[in-house]
Chains A and B, each alone.
Chain A
């Protein structure tokens, strides 16, 4: 988790770690949203980011740890108007990341999941990277720049 802060010069960062319990999903997205508020995002940008974070954290809890105890870690770093968010677990990992990124895909159909989590993440951030190793865990890296629309005007 030291990766982001050491690779590039960042203006500010936030690290969070919490048990993989569903009641922490709300805490995680609200904490990240509060942190990026200093970039003065629009409500729409903030809602999109909260949704993407919620999807990644939910995946870590449901799929990474399969509802067992574990730890979810989040690191956010700001550089100019861009936030980089890494969300990682040490869960079971994803056997086929490409398959998991397909719309409507779910590995747990018994749970009434829509299979849209990854698709939503892809749509709501500028860049999404998913790295996973079986038995080691999954790391999701999301990058979003705020005010991209406003600069063009």
Chain B
């Protein structure tokens, strides 16, 4: 599953798709890290609009990227999260450390402005 992404003005936007389980996340993690390594980014936005399923492996993916971005001195935001994913995010305490936006452009703006 290729990761759909775009890069503009220092922000990498990753549009995740399909299912975020243990099987899927390893390749996605490598893809995102490879793309981050290619640029001198300031921030990362992850969009969950096209995610049909996610379990705790997805939480590990997000927290792992948050660690990478923080070590790089960058900002990170999440967007377009449906109700069932939001429940997982709340349960895990993820939203205490990561901001969540309804729309992708708002998330990009927030990461740039930070």
Contact = CB atoms under 8 A, between A and B. Distances in A.
Given A112-B64, A114-B63, A120-B56, A58 B91 contact: no
Please classify the interface of chain A as helix (H, G, I), strand (E, B), loop, or mixed, using the class held by over half of its residues. helix
Interface stretch (A48-56, A79-87, A143-151): A48-56
Given A25-B21, A26-B19, A61-B22, A116 B92 contact: yes
A116 B56 contact: yes
Contacts, number: 64
A123 B53 contact: no
Interface size class of A (residues with CB under 8 A): 20 to 34
Contacts of B55: 51, 54-55, 58, 117, 120
A22 B20 CA distance: 12
Interface of B: 19, 21-23, 29, 53-57, 59-61, 63-64, 83-84, 88, 91-92
Given A22-B22, A116-B91, 11 more contacts: A22-B23, A51-B54, A54-B21, A54-B22, A54-B53, A54-B55, A55-B56, A111-B60, A116-B56, A116-B59, A119-B92
29 contacts: A22-B22, A22-B23, A23-B23, A25-B21, A25-B23, A29-B53, A47-B84, A48-B84, A50-B53, A51-B53, A51-B54, A54-B22, A58-B22, A58-B55, A58-B56, A62-B22, A112-B60, A113-B56, A114-B59, A114-B60, A114-B92, A115-B56, A116-B59, A119-B91, A119-B92, A120-B55, A120-B56, A120-B88, A123-B91
